[in-house]
Structures are given as C-alpha cells and as structure tokens.
C-alpha cells in the first residue's frame, strides 16, 4: 500500500506535514513551554524520544494488539516512555525539569504522539514508523525551537540565557500566554504564505 | 483464544512490562532526585546564615507539626537561626529559606527554594537585586513594601513592577511565618 520512497516518511514531518505548523497538533506544549529557547528545545527532544520509542513498540506489536483496546495500549506504552523521560530529566538536568514543570508528564496526552501511532505506526513496518517518528519529532522540535527563540528574544532580550539585545529590552507580552498565540499565529501565517507561493 | 481473553492478556502483559521497567528506572533515578533536593536545601541553609558557622538541627513544634530549625553557632554563641517558611504566592506556593538574627529582630538573608509564579513577571522574585533587599532587613514592627520608589525605611523593600502580588506575598510570609517560629521558640 505504501509506494513512496522511505526517505519521504522522514522528510514530510519537517515541512509538508509539520505537526505544529500544518497539522496543528501538539499545540498545548507548543504554546505553554516556549518561554525560553532552552525549554522549547528540551520539550521538543523529550517528545521526540517518546515518539520514537512509542512508534517502535506500537509498530512491532501492531499485529498483536486487539483493535478494540489499541488506544489503551498506546497510552500505556506512551505513558511508560514519558515517565522515563520525566524521571531522567529530574535526575540529570533538574533545572530544566523544574522549569518545564507539569508539561513533561502531559506529553502523555500530546495528540501529535497518539496521532502518529493511530495514523502511521499501527499500519506500517518498523523501519518506516521510525523514520516517520523521527521526522515528526524533528519537525516538532524545530518549530518549538523557532517559536521559543522568537519569544525569548522579543520577550526577555536573551537567547539560551545569553543577552543579545540591549539591557532592559523586553516586550513582556511575548513571554506571557498571549505572546504564544501571537507568535504561533504569525508562524503559521508565514508557513501558509510560503506554501501558497510554492504551489502557484 | 477468543477475543475477550486476548484483550485481557495483551493489556495485562503490556502493563506488567511497563510497571517493571518503571520500577527499575525509579530505583536508580530516585536517589539522584532526592540528593538534588537535599543539596538545594543544604546549600540554602548556608546561604542564608552568616559565614563560617557550625550548624545544629533543633526540632520546633508549630501547630502540632514538627519543623526543623537550623541553629548557627560561632565560638559557642548562637549567631543566627535558619528555617524554611512557605505560603501562597500569586499562583503557586512559595517556599523560602530564611536566616534571622538570634533575637528574631532582623533578617540575615533569604533564599527562594521553590516557586511557580507567572513566567517573566512573578518569577522575577528570584532576581538578585530583589533578594539583596532582604539582607539585614528589620523584621520589627513588621516588614512593608513600597511601589516604584526606593525604600526609605530599614523595614521596607521595593516591590517588583508587574509582580506586586508575588512581592507582597513574600513580605506577608515573612511577617506571619517567622513570627510563628519565634513564638514557638519563646523568643
């Protein structure tokens, strides 16, 4: 059923089917944690780790899991890897763990991850599922990094904690929730604009 | 195997494996996580006390709850006390470590152990200039705050613009919680 070259599965997540900008999935963490570039990157990588591991297992067991309880099975698998990521961050990078707060445990209900299991990993082989997960994860991470960089630079005048604007600069609204909506709205508008020009 | 049995078996196996993996993970991350919390607390105790002191732990009973107070001793004399206090901030609980003079009249220093205030606004209570203001602050008659001006009295601090409620919450915790410890210790 799948005639596309395997590399397509990796590349599509980066732009054409970017989870945040095109599919509008996983917006809760994309809006909530992107107050600093460091947080955005950590959240992106944690979600990518969970997505890769979950897709691998779901694809591996796709013929064993009865379809009536597939969502329950996916959730248990996802929750296990989220807990691993959460404990790992708390043990080895406690500062980042502290600033991400409850959003790491909330990866469990990130619709991007559940969506990929349901739409892809449960129907495709391990190789393709891993490529798909990696592509989607990287697309998610890149978008979060971009969004959080914009918010941190405009809101606090810093990037990864380094002062890059003059001292005292800071457009406070950008680090508050409204700033997340403003920045994400502009990013999605930009992505749509580029796509419409590419098609034309 | 009929379908119902299959559902039960598959979900049970997945859950057992998941539980097992997490138990193993917990056994080697838990000590690190607890060590870190302990380290943060211990560092804070020395941060809020005067330099080069010996610390003794004493237990104080407040509202039927046993709390630890850290007594700082220098040349056989008590030079300060440190203890943890907490209260509500704007949207989260604030946990502070405070160091006070032996007669509880003056704050030696203060350190924020945990807070989840509004990012970019309330979280500024961790900024150095704000925390600096609490060094040597008089606790009597009570601590007060002022907005948009340099503090003029020795029991006054300047609140953070845009984070008045978080600033006021710290002042409030100092006034009520330190007093509780003072009364419990009959000072």
pLDDT at B160 over 70: yes
Model confidence band, residue A164 (pLDDT cutoffs 50, 70, 90): confident
- Tell me the backbone φ, ψ of residue A10, rounded to 5 degrees: -75, -45
Q: Give start and end residues of each alpha helix (H) in chain B.
A: 3-48, 128-132, 164-184
- pLDDT, position A123: 92
Render pLDDT for A19-63 as a digit per residue (tens, 0 to 9). 999 999 989 889 988 988 998 999 999 999 999 999 999 999 999
- pLDDT, position B1: 65
Question: Rounded distance, CA A94 to CA A96, Å?
Answer: 6
- pLDDT, position A56: 95
- pLDDT, position B2: 82
pLDDT at A1 over 60: no
Strands B65-74 and B77-88: antiparallel
Put simply, the answer to whether B162 touches A94 (Cβ < 8 Å) is no
Model confidence band, residue A2 (pLDDT cutoffs 50, 70, 90): low
- pLDDT, position A3: 62
Question: Rounded distance, CA A112 to CA A170, Å?
Answer: 32
Select from B18, B114, B120 the Cβ nearest to the Cβ of A76. B18
Put simply, the answer to whether A91 touches B18 (Cβ < 8 Å) is no
- Give mean pLDDT, residues A67-94: 92
- Give mean pLDDT, residues B6-10: 91
A89 close to B (CB below 8 A)? no
Helix, strand, or coil (residue B86)? strand
Cβ-proximal residues to B96 (8 Å cutoff; 6+ apart), any chain: B84, B85, B86, B110, B111, B112, B113, B170, B173
In chain B, residues with a C-beta closer than 8 Å to the C-beta of A87 are 25-26, 29, 33
How buried is residue B185: exposed, middle or buried, by Cβ count under 10 Å (0-12/13-18/19+)?
A: middle
Say what the pTM is.
Answer: 0.75
- pLDDT, position A116: 93
Question: Rounded distance, CA B45 to CA B83, Å?
Answer: 8
Question: Rounded distance, CA A30 to CA A140, Å?
Answer: 9
Reading the block at residue A192, the tokens are: 């749509």
Cβ-proximal residues to A174 (8 Å cutoff; 6+ apart), any chain: A150, A151, A154, A155, A182, A183
pLDDT at A140 over 90: yes
């Amino acid at each position: 059923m799948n005639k596309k070259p395997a590399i397509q599965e990796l590349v599509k997540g980066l732009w054409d089917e970017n989870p945040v900008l095109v599919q509008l999935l996983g917006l809760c963490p994309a809006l909530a944690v992107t107050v600093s570039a460091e947080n955005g990157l950590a959240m992106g990588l944690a979600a990518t780790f969970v997505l890769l591991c979950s897709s691998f297992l779901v694809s591996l067991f796709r013929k064993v899991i009865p379809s009536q309880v597939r969502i329950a099975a996916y959730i248990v698998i996802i929750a296990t890897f989220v807990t691993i990521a959460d404990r790992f961050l708390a043990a080895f990078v406690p500062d980042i763990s502290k600033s991400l707060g409850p959003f790491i445990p909330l990866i469990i209900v990130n619709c991007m991850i559940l969506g990929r299991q349901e739409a892809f990993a449960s129907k495709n082989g391990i190789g393709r599922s891993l490529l798909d997960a990696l592509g989607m994860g990287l697309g998610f991470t890149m978008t979060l990094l971009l969004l959080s960089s914009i918010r941190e630079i405009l809101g606090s005048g810093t990037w990864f904690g380094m002062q890059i604007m003059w001292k005292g600069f800071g457009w406070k609204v950008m680090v508050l929730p409204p700033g997340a909506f403003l920045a994400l709205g502009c990013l999605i508008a930009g992505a749509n604009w580029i796509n419409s020009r590419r098609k034309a | 195997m009929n379908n119902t049995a299959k559902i039960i078996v598959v979900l049970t196996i997945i859950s057992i494996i998941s539980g097992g993996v997490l138990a193993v993970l917990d056994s080697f991350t838990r000590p690190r996580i607890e060590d870190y919390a302990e380290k943060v607390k211990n560092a804070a105790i020395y941060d809020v006390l005067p330099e080069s002191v010996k610390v003794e732990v004493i237990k104080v009973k407040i509202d039927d709850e046993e709390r630890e107070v850290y007594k700082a001793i220098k040349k056989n004399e008590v030079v300060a006390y440190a203890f943890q206090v907490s209260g509500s901030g704007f949207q989260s609980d604030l946990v502070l470590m405070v160091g006070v003079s032996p007669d509880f009249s003056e704050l030696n220093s203060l350190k924020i152990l945990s807070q989840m205030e509004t990012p970019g606004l309330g979280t500024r209570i961790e900024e150095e200039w704000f925390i600096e203001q609490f060094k040597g602050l008089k606790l009597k008659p009570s601590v007060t705050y002022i907005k948009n001006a340099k503090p003029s009295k020795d029991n006054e601090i300047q609140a953070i613009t845009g984070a008045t409620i978080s600033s006021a919450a710290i002042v409030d915790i100092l006034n009520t919680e330190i007093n509780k410890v003072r009364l419990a210790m009959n000072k």
